[in-house]
């Protein structure tokens, strides 16, 4: 990554996190005022615009988000223009077009996407006459349906990007707990996971919700907490304790090198030892004869 990419990455990541926390803190206030509604709209739309820009930056490099007339400048000139705030970035509609083609948006999602934009424009340019309280709930849908598809895990410290409760890292523990306990977030996320990936759903090893889907990109991603990893890293065996099928997660890359390893059942949350059969490679609880060879 060159220095211009690095500087833009740093700014977008940092500011996105501030806006998304601001949006959800306001949306989840116990006795919401007009100011909370207004702040929810502005912060949520700003969070989207920055994560959308970051999404383009990761795929196209800095030229994807800086307007053409700066493309011939030297690295030092660019860095100084960024520092002074004089650089011009591409307009939101352009980034929106790019990410809209890369993610899944149904008719309702598109309505929601346009609604936030038009509310924000109204607030910023005309002011509000009445306060659209439904926006508080809709901002949770907005998070589930749109923001969660834009890979915000990549804005986190490396250790929180994969195999971690990424959402807790993004929001901090107290806002994370509030979002899960006092909003429609969990139900909406599970619904969304099932709508997009109905065939192979597991309970999440991290947050226990039934929202850990196998995506088209062959990653396992939890639609609630953002826990994600390469599909090849995970193996699934049946649980001898609660009898759930394929819910004991084990380290698929290391099981072959050990007589047995410790797995964890995503359904009953107990630890279970599992071993790979020397004849047929099938993984069964240990000690126990192979489920396939018996
Ligand atoms: Zn989860
Ligand atoms: Zn179990
Ligand atoms: Zn066997």
- pLDDT tens by residue, 129-169: 888 899 999 999 999 999 999 999 999 999 999 999 999 99
Distance 225 CA to ligand 1 centre (A): 4
Bin 151: left if φ > 0, else alpha if -120 < ψ < 50, else beta: left
Distance 231 CA to ligand 3 centre (A): 23
Q: Kindly compute the dihedral angle of the four CA atoms of residues 214, 110, 5, 62, in this order, to the nearest 10 degrees.
A: 130
Residue 25 contacts by C-beta under 8 Å, 6 or more apart in sequence? 175
Distance 163 CA to ligand 1 centre (A): 10
Cis peptide before 138, with omega less than 30 degrees from 0?
no
pTM to 2 decimal places: 0.93
Distance 202 CA to ligand 1 centre (A): 10
Closest ligand to C-alpha of residue 280 is 3
pLDDT value for 33: 94
Closest ligand to C-alpha of residue 282 is 3
Q: 107-125 and 92-102 helices cross at what angle (nearest 10)?
A: 160
pLDDT value for 100: 97
Which residues, listed in sequence order, are joined to residue 251 by a DSSP beta bridge? Answer: 234
Mean pLDDT of 272-291: 90
State pLDDT tens for residues 215-251.
998 899 999 999 999 999 999 999 999 999 999 999 9
pLDDT value for 130: 86
Closest ligand to C-alpha of residue 206 is 1
State pLDDT tens for residues 257-268.
899 999 999 999
Smallest Cα–Cα separation from 66: which of 51, 83, 78, 58? 78
Mean pLDDT of 104-121: 96
- Does residue 294 surpass a pLDDT of 80? no
Percent of the chain beyond pLDDT 90? Answer: 92
Closest ligand to C-alpha of residue 246 is 2
Distance 267 CA to ligand 2 centre (A): 5
Closest ligand to C-alpha of residue 283 is 3
Considering all CA atoms of the chain, what is the largest pairwise distance in Å, rounded to the nearest integer? 73
Closest ligand to C-alpha of residue 292 is 3
Closest ligand to C-alpha of residue 247 is 2
- 């109204």: which residue's tokens? 122
Among 52-61, 120-129, 167-176, the least confident range = 120-129
Distance 212 CA to ligand 1 centre (A): 6
- Does residue 291 surpass a pLDDT of 90? no
Distance 248 CA to ligand 1 centre (A): 15
Distance 85 CA to ligand 3 centre (A): 64
- Name which residue leads in pLDDT, 133 or 14: 14
As a whole number of angstroms, the distance between CA 62 and CA 52 comes to: 13
- Does residue 1 surpass a pLDDT of 70? no
- 């977008």: which residue's tokens? 12
| Helix then strand then coil, % of the chain, to nearest 5 | 50, 10, 35
pLDDT value for 173: 98
pLDDT value for 220: 96
Provide the residues around ligand 1 (an ion) whose CB is within 5 A: 204, 206-207, 222, 224-225, 227
Mean pLDDT of 100-127: 95
Closest ligand to C-alpha of residue 288 is 3
Distance 290 CA to ligand 3 centre (A): 5
- 């008719």: which residue's tokens? 107
Mean pLDDT of 98-105: 97
Domain boundary assignment for the chain: 3-155, 238-285
Distance 286 CA to ligand 3 centre (A): 12
pLDDT value for 275: 95
Distance 184 CA to ligand 2 centre (A): 27
Closest ligand to C-alpha of residue 202 is 1
């Amino acid at each position: 990554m060159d220095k211009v990419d690095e500087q833009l990455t740093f700014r977008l990541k940092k500011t996105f996190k501030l806006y998304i926390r601001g949006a959800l803190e306001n949306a989840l206030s116990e006795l919401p005022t007009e100011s909370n509604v207004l702040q929810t709209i502005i912060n949520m739309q700003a969070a989207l615009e920055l994560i959308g820009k970051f999404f383009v930056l990761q795929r196209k490099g800095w030229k994807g988000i800086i307007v053409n007339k700066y493309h011939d400048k030297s690295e030092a000139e660019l860095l100084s223009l960024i520092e002074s705030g004089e650089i011009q970035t591409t307009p939101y509609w352009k980034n929106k077009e790019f990410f809209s083609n890369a993610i899944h948006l149904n008719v309702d999602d598109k309505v929601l996407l346009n609604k936030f934009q038009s509310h924000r424009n109204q607030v910023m340019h005309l002011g509000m006459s009445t306060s659209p309280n439904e926006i508080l709930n809709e901002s949770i849908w907005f998070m589930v349906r749109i923001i969660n598809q834009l890979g915000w895990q990549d804005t986190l410290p490396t250790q929180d990007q994969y195999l971690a409760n990424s959402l807790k890292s993004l929001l901090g523990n107290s806002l994370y707990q509030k979002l899960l306990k006092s909003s429609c977030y969990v139900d909406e996320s599970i619904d969304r996971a099932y709508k997009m990936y109905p065939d192979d759903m597991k309970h999440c090893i991290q947050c226990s919700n039934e929202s850990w889907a196998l995506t088209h990109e062959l990653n396992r991603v939890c639609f609630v907490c953002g826990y994600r990893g390469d599909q090849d890293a995970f193996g699934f065996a049946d649980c001898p304790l609660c009898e759930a099928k394929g819910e004991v997660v084990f380290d698929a890359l290391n099981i072959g090198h050990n007589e047995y390893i410790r797995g964890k059942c995503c359904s009953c949350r107990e630890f279970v030892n599992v071993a790979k059969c020397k004849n047929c490679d099938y993984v069964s609880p240990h000690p126990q004869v192979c489920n396939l060879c018996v």
